[in-house]
Structure 1
Amino acid sequence: MTMMIQTDLLVRYGATYKKVSASEIIFLEGDTGHYYHQLVEGRVCWSNFNDDGKEILQELVWPGESFGELVLFDQMPYACSAVALTDCVILRLPSAAFRQMLQDDPSISIRFNKMFAEKLRFKLFLIRELAGNSPEQTVDKLFHYLQKHSNKVCQECNKLLLTRQQIANLTGMRVETIIRATKALENKGKVSIVKGKVFLTSENETSCCKSRQSIV
């Protein structure tokens, strides 16, 4: 598990643990931010919602990752809402202590710069693919991007750790479109679908994935 900031360092600067129940709102788009959030256990969706309630998934947060940190750098309201996908444990560090930690250890700032660059690069990739390709081509390239650049694909068995609904929310496409595109890729031998799970290159689910099922 890749950890943004070591938990003992966060606790040393005053971070506290907070338990959050599944479906509980952690913060809302437009709220003022007062904490650095880092996920310890569970899954968090970092999303926007349109007037009809449709979710636009910006990021699926895994243990060790931070979320909502933009407010600590630009002092603007939250750009997205954070909702617990499962029961979660979160470390929260007050914003003043977070800024002091960055001053004391500039290497942490460098880490954040790298993370912001990676997220921006992914958004540029996604905009380009959505603007210029068919759904099948977009999904194909997205799967390969996730396999190469993220923790959303199991590195041992190549199982996609996002559901097709989450892919739809991430791309803005309908879930039916994602299902058809994935099926077309399977027919071409580019993916395998085993018991509803998508494998990018492997046909068999290994034991490493039995405890990391994709969450609907």
Structure 2
Amino acid sequence: MVINEKFLFSAGAEVKQYRPGDTIFHDGATPYFYYQIIKGKVKLNNYNKEGKELIQKIVTDGESLGESLLFIGKPYPMDAVALEPCSIIKLCRNNFFSMLNVYPQLYFDLCKGLSDCLYYQYIMLQANSSQNPSERIMGVLEYLKTSKKDHAPFSYKIPFTRQQLASLTGLCVETAIRTIKNMEKRKLVMIKDRKIYF
């Protein structure tokens, strides 16, 4: 959790419900709210000129989205779209900054969350700069597993579809499927009941 919910609610936050496919904010919009997910999954994405989707990140329970842009006031460079039913805390920008002034200790939590986002971006930039599809997918899987306590082989069930892994790594879905099958043969992943374990 980025910021304890009690602070958000004391500052006037409300909970909004989103259905799969609902847009929370869109590319080019001005950031007026702080968003933190109570439950659900949201993809941060955009499309290239050919219409191919690139997923920048998938955020889930306890994570926030787009908060760094509140500090600079620049428009969102991506869409935020619910992947499943979501409950999301929404706090207006002015109340968000008032809350931080009243509780300056929250800056540490916020900096930790922003640092984690930067770390993710560095890992993904490094992985996606590779021409090797296996290295791209491994970058995502390794990052995801670092947040888990159990690091034993095949202990982590990947929460993304093959299409989402393809969109996260800039690969076409056919290449992602082929690469994952090859990774299974090399015993880098295990596939059980169509789910990927790393």
Q: Would you say same fold, with TM above 0.5? A: yes
Answering whether residue 86 of structure 2 is matched by residue 88 of structure 1, we say yes
Corresponding residue for residue 97 of structure 2: 99
Question: Which among 145, 148, 154 is matched to residue 146 of structure 2?
Answer: 148
CA contact (8 A) 1:68 1:80 kept: no
What is the match of residue 73 of structure 1? Answer: 71
For the aligned residue pairs, the C-alpha RMSD in angstroms reads 2.2
Q: Does 1:21 align with 2:19?
A: yes
- TM-fit CA distance, 1:133: 4.8
The alignment covers a number of residue pairs equal to: 196
1:72-114 deviation line (CA, Å, top 9, x unaligned): 1111111211111112221111101100111222232222222
Amino acid at match of 2:60: W
Between 1 and 2, higher relative CO (CA 8 Å, sep ≥ 6) is seen in 2
Instruction: Extract unaligned runs of 5+ from structure 2.
Output: none
Deviation of 1:141 (Å): 3.8
**Conserved? CA contact 1:56–1:169, under 8 Å:** yes
3-state SS in 2 of match to 1:36: strand
CA distance in 2: counterparts of 1:104 and 1:139, whole angstroms: 43
Note closer, same or farther for the CA distance 1:198–1:28 as it changes in structure 2 (3 Å cut).
Answer: same
Name the CA shift for 1:156/1:109 in 2 (closer, same or farther; >3 Å).
farther
1:122 Cα offset (Å): 2.3
SS at 1:128's partner residue?
helix
TM-score under structure 2 length normalisation? 0.89
When residues 7 and 171 of structure 1 are mapped into structure 2, their CA distance, relative to the original with a 3 A threshold, is same
Give the corresponding residue for 2:56: 58
The residue that corresponds to 1:194 in the other structure is 192
Aligned to 2:30: 32
1:129 match: 127
Q: Does 1:139 align with 2:170?
A: no
Runs of 4+ in 1 over 3 A off after TM superposition: none
Distance 1:34 1:138 in 2: 34
1:180 alignment counterpart: 178
Q: Is the 8 A contact 1:140 1:185 kept in 2?
A: no
Following the alignment from structure 2 to structure 1, what is the Cα–Cα distance between the partners of residues 130 and 16? 43
Q: Structure 1 residues 141, 71: closer, same or farther in 2, change over 3 A?
A: closer
Question: How many Å apart are 1:4 and its aligned residue?
Answer: 1.4
Query: Contact between 2:189 and 2:196, CA under 8 Å: does it hold in 1?
Result: yes
Residues 129/89 of structure 1: CA separation in 2 closer, same or farther (3 Å cut): closer
Counterpart contact for 1:31–1:77, Cα < 8 Å: yes
Which residue type is aligned with residue 24 of structure 1?
A: D
- Percent identity between matched residues is 33
Cα distance in structure 2, aligned partners of 1:86 and 1:132: 31
Q: Name the stretch that deviates more: 140-149 or 71-80.
A: 140-149
Instruction: List gaps (5 residues or longer) in structure 1.
Output: 201-216
**Pairwise CA distance, 1:41:** 2.1
Instruction: Give me the whole-angstrom Cα distance separating, in 2, the residues matched to 1:91 and 1:156.
Output: 34
TM-score, normalised via structure 1 length = 0.82
